[in-house]
Amino acid sequence: MTLSSDTIAVDSDTAPAADGCHAGEGVMRDAAQKAGKTAQLEQYDKDYPKGPHDQPQSMCPAFGSLRVGLRMRRTATILSGSACCVYGLTFTSHFYGAKRTVGYVPFDSESLVTGKLFEDIREAVHDIADPDQYDAVVVINLCVPTASGVPLDLLPTEINGVRIIGIDVPGFGVPTHAEAKDVLAGAMLRYARGEVQAGPVARPAVVETDVPTVAMVGEIFPVDAIAAAFAAFMARRNDVVLFSDAIEVLKQLCGTYRLVAITNGNANVFKTELGVFFELAIRADEVGIAKPDRGIFDLTWERLGCSATEVIHVGDSVESDVQGALNAGVTPVWYNPDGEPNLLGVNQVSSLTELPALLKNIRD
């Protein structure tokens, strides 16, 4: 089997025994540690200390995470684990009235060892990430994929505006359903907090004072409060502040030029009022490369089917935009409204309204 350059292969010496999740906690933990999961297991041990009533239920603890995911609106859930575990989890979920489809990525010994399982998970996530249906996709690794080191953290964080959240919920690391619920709820809230901290986002025109505070006490079922909070975070990220002349200038440019957005930020341009002007948007968190690395520029030209010499890059950051464009062999235009010293001697504008005339001069 030929592996692509971004295939994640698992050392056969670290893969769990052939009897998988029935191999026993000691065997599974040892395999997970060899596969690079030591830090995560230590954090689980710290967060969820085991006691005399550890794992009192017969059902896999991951059922707790599955219940949370299936109760969230506009959220798809994908399981990766042994077929017997997935069958039991989904059967019990439907018994509790979930009435939602659960995605399943099957595997065998070969796909574990070669890294094909990770490729299959990534393909499944891309297939299901439809922004018309979902705001988030939750991928849950059960015992065997976790012990094999399947790296859900290498999945894209977002696809077409749909958030991708991967968690490991192994029965040998998470004691009970309650803790498993906490694993997913915590992951989603960390994601939301990261979006807010990354900015920039606009302050809401109307401050909603009646938005409930999220408090987790005991078992949460259903989890509509968490879902509402997560949805509010996601909506705010695309409520960006526009320069006053941005729309008028884009109207002038879009009839003459192919417009593309290359951003290190987390806003989805196609979910803002600017989206109608752009043919393509390349986001650093989706492609895994950020400005000023020329790789993100090269990827853009590849997708556009043009060369760097045909492109003019406009941006306000000397380091990310101007230097990034120069690194990629692209003509830069610096948006410099504050009149800072132009140490690189590149084309610049102090107002966006100056841009159409400057671009015409450069092109001519």
Token code pair at residue 169: 């919920």
Is 161 buried (19+), middle (13-18) or exposed (0-12) by CB count in 10 A? buried
Examine the fold and report which residue of 234, 266, 297 is the final residue of a domain before the chain moves on.
Answer: 234
DSSP alpha helices (H): ranges in the chain?
A: 25-34, 38-47, 63-71, 83-95, 109-114, 116-128, 143-147, 177-198, 224-237, 246-254, 284-287, 294-304, 323-327, 355-363
Instruction: Find out whether 182 and 166 touch, Cβ atoms under 8 Å.
Output: no
**Can you give the pLDDT at residue 40?**
77
**Can you give the pLDDT at residue 346?**
96
Determine the average pLDDT of the residues in 87-106: 73
**Can you give the pLDDT at residue 351?**
93
**Residue 266 belongs to domain spanning:** 246-363
**7 falls within a domain:** no
Q: Do 222 and 297 reside in the same domain of the chain? A: no
**Can you give the pLDDT at residue 217?**
44
Assessment of whether the complete model's pTM goes beyond 0.75:
no
Instruction: Find out whether 322 and 334 touch, Cβ atoms under 8 Å.
Output: yes
Per the structure, the count of domains in the chain is 2
C-alpha gyration radius of the chain: 24
Q: 280 by DSSP, 3-state: which?
A: strand
**Can you give the pLDDT at residue 20?**
52
Phi, psi of 244 (to 5 degrees): -60, -30
**Can you give the pLDDT at residue 253?**
92
**268 falls within a domain:** yes
Is 314 buried (19+), middle (13-18) or exposed (0-12) by CB count in 10 A? buried
**Can you give the pLDDT at residue 223?**
44
Give the chain's mean pLDDT.
78
**Can you give the pLDDT at residue 18?**
43
**Can you give the pLDDT at residue 235?**
62
pLDDT-based confidence at residue 109 (cuts at 50, 70, 90): confident
On the question of pLDDT at 17 being above 50, the answer is no
On the question of pLDDT at 63 being above 60, the answer is yes
**Can you give the pLDDT at residue 356?**
93
On the question of pLDDT at 8 being above 50, the answer is no
Determine the average pLDDT of the residues in 295-320: 91
Residue 230: how many other CB atoms lie within 10 Å: 26
Examine the fold and report which residue of 174, 208, 234 is the final residue of a domain before the chain moves on.
Answer: 234
Examine the fold and report which residue of 234, 264, 296 is the final residue of a domain before the chain moves on.
Answer: 234
What's the chain's length in residues? 364
**Can you give the pLDDT at residue 59?**
65
Nearest to 76 by CA among 124, 118, 120, 119: 124
Whether the bond between 200 and the residue before it is cis, its omega within 30 degrees of 0, is yes
| CATH number of 140's domain | 3.40.50.1980
Please tell me the least confidently modeled range out of 32-46, 179-193, 243-257, 290-304. Answer: 32-46
Q: In the chain, what is the straight-line distance between the N-terminal and C-terminal CA atoms, in Å?
A: 52
